[in-house]
Amino acid sequence: MKKYAMVIDMDRCVTCHACEVACRSHYDVPVPYYRNWVHALPPQGVYPDIKKVSYVGLCNHCDDAPCVKACPTGATYKREDGVVVVDKGLCIGCGICIEACPYGARYIDPLNEKVDKCDFCIDRVTNGEEPACVETCIAEARIFGDLNDPKSKVSKLVAAGAQQNISSKVNVGPNIYYLDSHDNFPIIKAAFPPKVPKMPTPQKMWTNVIRPLFWVAIGGTFLGQMAAFATQLFKGESEVKE
């Protein structure tokens, strides 16, 4: 069974943001949201020993994904190939999964009020293509492939020491790895540590899920009764005419 993962080579990334543009174009991502991003940190060090450090982020498609556990409808789920996806038909836009994500990789699309995020361009991958960000990267800083294939480049890079953005408090098995030979990754981890997942409380479940569904059910029942009443009224009028 395949297990997809991505390695970000921080030594090669030039912070051109082409990956962001490709993703936004392919999925019509509304401003100001992102499915993947490149954040440039302020200059690091003291002159003349100054260096530029950038953080490349996206959904980490975690092995033990908190978003999957938090989703009350099953809209967020993990495929057999390791890709975490969102079923828009089941998503109710409650936003609980957003708070559960340690990497801030989710948002609610204001156009359809559904949660969206990176899905490794699974539509492209299924057709034998690479994710849009990988194909577009001018520095070849993004490497995508099957982690379970020992011959794949991504598997070899992970075996050679590519690192995950984890901490002593948060380790949910992310499948985004980083290559770094300039000691920049500790700076990135300090600036963008994974957040402790916020799982839904009973109050939040009531406010964001149960109460809205309750009113939807009430509305549906009311409309059903109105339709039944209208049908009976129409039948009654027809019988009087006859």
- pLDDT of amino acid 239: 54
Contact 106, 97 (CB under 8 A): yes
- pLDDT of amino acid 200: 82
Whole-angstrom Cα distance, residue 233 to residue 32?
51
- pLDDT of amino acid 201: 76
From first to last of its 242 residues, the chain has per-residue pLDDT tens of 999 999 999 999 999 999 999 999 999 999 999 999 999 999 998 998 899 999 999 999 999 999 999 999 999 999 999 999 999 999 999 999 999 999 999 999 999 999 999 999 999 999 999 999 999 999 999 999 999 999 999 999 999 999 999 999 999 999 999 999 999 999 999 999 999 999 887 655 555 666 565 555 555 555 656 655 556 666 655 555 55
The pTM for the full model equals 0.84
- pLDDT of amino acid 89: 97
